[in-house]
Every structure is written in structure tokens, then in C-alpha cells.
Amino acid sequence: MGKSKESVNHPDHYGGKDNPYEVIKIIEAHDLDFRLGNSIKYILRSDKKGCTADDLRKAIWYLNRVLSEKTVEETKRLESNKKRRKAYAAKKKREAKKKTAGAR
């Protein structure tokens, strides 16, 4: 009888049990969230199941979701920083005016 294929625990298309770079080990080692983990999964297995283009499209789909979220977060952060810098500059301008007025 031949070697049975493992389809649940450590399947070959995810690297196999003895592979230190098995997909689940990489995802857990880097504490990746669901979307980034799935991106890695689809990329690493893309040439192992006969559907390379589909797996790469799936990875891109998950990455685009992360990018959309991060873009919104970063835009909000940048806008907030801009408002803080503007408020700080206005405060310094007021303080400078007070100093000038007090020196007269």
C-alpha cells in the first residue's frame, strides 16, 4: 500500500509537517491576521495545486482588502496630524503676538 496523502493536518500543498516553512507556521510565527494569513497561504501554495493564477488572484483580493483599510486609517491619521500641526502653529503665532505686544 502506498503512502497516504494527508489532506487535513499538514497537507503537502501547505508545506508538510516536517517543513519549517509550512504555511500555518509562518502565519503563526508572524502573528498575521486572517487576511494577511490567507494572502500568504495562497501565494505559497499557488504552484502546488494546479491553479496558480486563481490562487494569486485570491492573494491579491485579500491584500487589496488590507490596503483599502490601511489607506483609510493612514489618511485619517495624516489628516489628524495636519490639524494638530496647524493648531500648534496658530498657538505659537498667538504667543509671539503676545510677546511682541508685551514688549511695547
User: By C-alpha distance, which of 5, 46, 51 is closest to 23?
Assistant: 46
Q: Which residues lie closer than 8 Å to 24 by C-beta, 6 or more apart? A: 14
Residue whose grid cell is 494572502: 39
Q: Is residue 50 part of a domain?
A: yes
Give the pLDDT of residue 21.
80
pLDDT tens column, 21-77: 888 889 999 999 999 999 999 999 898 888 899 999 999 999 999 999 999 988 888
Does 2 map to a domain?
Answer: no
What is the model's pTM? 0.61
Question: What whole-number distance in Å separates Cα of residue 17 and Cα of residue 9?
Answer: 8
Query: Domain residues for 44?
Result: 12-102
Distance CA 69, CA 31 (A): 18
Domain count, the chain: 1
